[in-house]
Structure 1
Amino acid sequence: MVTFKEQLYAWRGVIFALFLRELQSKFNDKFGLGWAFLEPFAFIFALSYLRGLISGGDIHTVPLFIFMMIGMVGLQSLTTCLQSVSTSVRRNKPLYAFRQVQPISAIITAGFLEFSVKVVVVMLLALALYLMDETFVIHDPLLLLFLFLLLWVFSISIGLMFAIAAAFVPEVDKIKSMLTRPLMFISCVFFSLQDLPEEFWPYLTWNPLVHFNELARYACFESYGHKGVSLTFTIAVTVVFLFLSLSMYQVTWKRVLSR
């Protein structure tokens, strides 16, 4: 009889093997991991230049480049993790012939890989800020770390729901693309919530990424403030989507294997 400890070791081995497979397939070109840093850095630099033409220097006490960096890191953390997790079940379908490999292993592997890549990217961006002499003291590092972990869990939960839905209705991938494209403009990446009149805030604050980005800026700069956003809302939304995604997986995972 197989013990729980032996099952845990086998599961760990499966996830590690899938992690190496995903890592090799993701960075198999000449740029490798460097592209994961160059892409957001180029976007941040370009958007910072455009925003600088509009508003000049600091944005509500936050330096322009840091303001754009926080927004872009939040946006790309969500979109890349969502894309990777939502397609992981389909990418690893041939491996489900092995009894030890289950869809949840592919989901966890994809999410952990994107999380690891983003940690490296944030460290490289922090080094770039130091070289640019844009250093600052983070107001609440624990809140910033908590928001980053919370966003990762939220992204995996949404990705898992899309992965299950796409297993039954492949056209869901097109809907996912339609939903993610406008996030750049409605998630407080290019602008601040404080730039808009308060009567327009309810049209944006339904988006959890707005709360993540604005709270992350507040965690870095206390003077930025957190008016209009709520940490309680982000936690509640993350817990709800995590519960829904795991419930969907528990009910449908055997049927997903047979699709």
Structure 2
Amino acid sequence: MAKVKQRSLLKVWGDVIFAIFVREIKSKSQDKLGVAWLVVSPVAFIFMLSYMRGRMDGGETHGISTFFFMAIGMVLVQAFLGMVGSVSTSIKKNKPLYAFRQVQPISSVLAISGMELLIKIFVVLVIGVIAFYLGHTMQMADPIELILILLRVWLIATSIGTLFALASCFVPEIDKIRSLAMRPIFFISGIFFSLQDIPREYWHYLTWNPLLHAVELARYAAYPHYGDAGVSYFYLDLCTLTLTFAALVCYQASWKQAISR
């Protein structure tokens, strides 16, 4: 007589997330370049912009190699925008799977945001290897803090993406608003400039953005002499906790109605 193997709820949840993760990877590897293009594309974009900026300012910005000044900002901002964009469509995208009682929208959110995080980790590794062979040595005074900042950005992006994903189930036009709202983020999050370049009386127009704090603090964690003027770990942590809490509350209150529409 065959023995029925019992699985814990956590095990089932983990298997569902992994299955959606694999499904998402397969859906992005339909052409010849496959998953490799998800890493090659952002790496090429970062190198191109960093090279152009380095040619304009002599290769150094506030005591940091312009290449790494740009790379730190672009990795974090690209990670944020990619995660928000992917997570915001995750619930609708996997709606047919919710017919299975083991599959819930949170599984889709975690699988897709986890895949985006993994891609950005590979991007960082590839950039580090290429920079090493090109003779660029990056200083990492506090690598643990750099990892924690990336995780904060991941939580913020996943939370915002979840809020947009839930809202779009009730109001489909919200996707257009999200696309419009995310466009300025690339230019106001400190990729091309440092907060130190802006007169102090104008800082309050920019420091509401937690992504700017993440970028500047990441540069400070790698290069302590860069300084952390105008940015705060407390504000970044507060935004992370607030947005994560808001996303969890909204999800718990509305996920059943969202998937039934």
TM range (shorter): over 0.9
Distance 2:197 2:33 in 1: 38
Point out where structure 2 has 5 or more consecutive residues left out of the alignment.
1-5
Q: Is the 8 A contact 2:46 2:74 kept in 1?
A: yes
Distance 1:245 1:97 in 2: 23
Distance 1:212 1:5 in 2: 40
Distance 1:104 1:55 in 2: 45
1:6 corresponds to which of 5, 8, 21: 8
Q: Is the 8 A contact 1:47 1:190 kept in 2?
A: no
Q: Is the 8 A contact 2:79 2:154 kept in 1?
A: yes
1:27-46 equivalences under 5 Å are: 27-46=29-48
Task: Give the letter aligned to residue 67 of structure 2.
Answer: F
1:32-111 equivalences under 5 Å are: 32-111=34-113
2:180 corresponds to which of 173, 178, 181: 178
TM-superposed CA distance for 1:54, in Å, is: 3.6
Structure 1, 134-143 or 213-222: larger mean CA deviation: 134-143
Distance 1:128 1:22 in 2: 28
Q: Is the 8 A contact 1:164 1:249 kept in 2?
A: yes
Match of 1:193 in 2: 195
TM-superposed CA distance for 1:57, in Å, is: 2.1
Distance 1:137 1:66 in 2: 9
RMSD across aligned C-alpha pairs, in angstroms? Answer: 1.4
Distance 1:94 1:86 in 2: 17
Deviations 1:134-180 (A, max 9, x none): 11331111111110111111110011000000010011100111111
Give the count of matched residue pairs: 256
TM-superposed CA distance for 1:116, in Å, is: 1.1
Deviations 1:30-71 (A, max 9, x none): 222322222222222232233234422200011011111111
Paired residue secondary structure (1:161)? helix
Match of 1:149 in 2: 151
Q: Is the 8 A contact 2:43 2:126 kept in 1?
A: no
Task: Give the letter aligned to residue 16 of structure 1.
Answer: F
Distance 1:48 1:112 in 2: 27
Paired residue secondary structure (1:139)? coil
Match of 1:212 in 2: 214
Q: Is the 8 A contact 2:69 2:219 kept in 1?
A: yes
Distance 1:123 1:57 in 2: 22
Match of 1:120 in 2: 122
TM-score (norm 2): 0.94
Point out where structure 1 has 5 or more consecutive residues left out of the alignment.
none
Task: Give the letter aligned to residue 91 of structure 2.
Answer: V
Paired residue secondary structure (1:19)? helix
Distance 2:58 2:46 in 1: 16
Match of 2:3 in 1: none
Match of 1:159 in 2: 161
Distance 2:123 2:173 in 1: 32
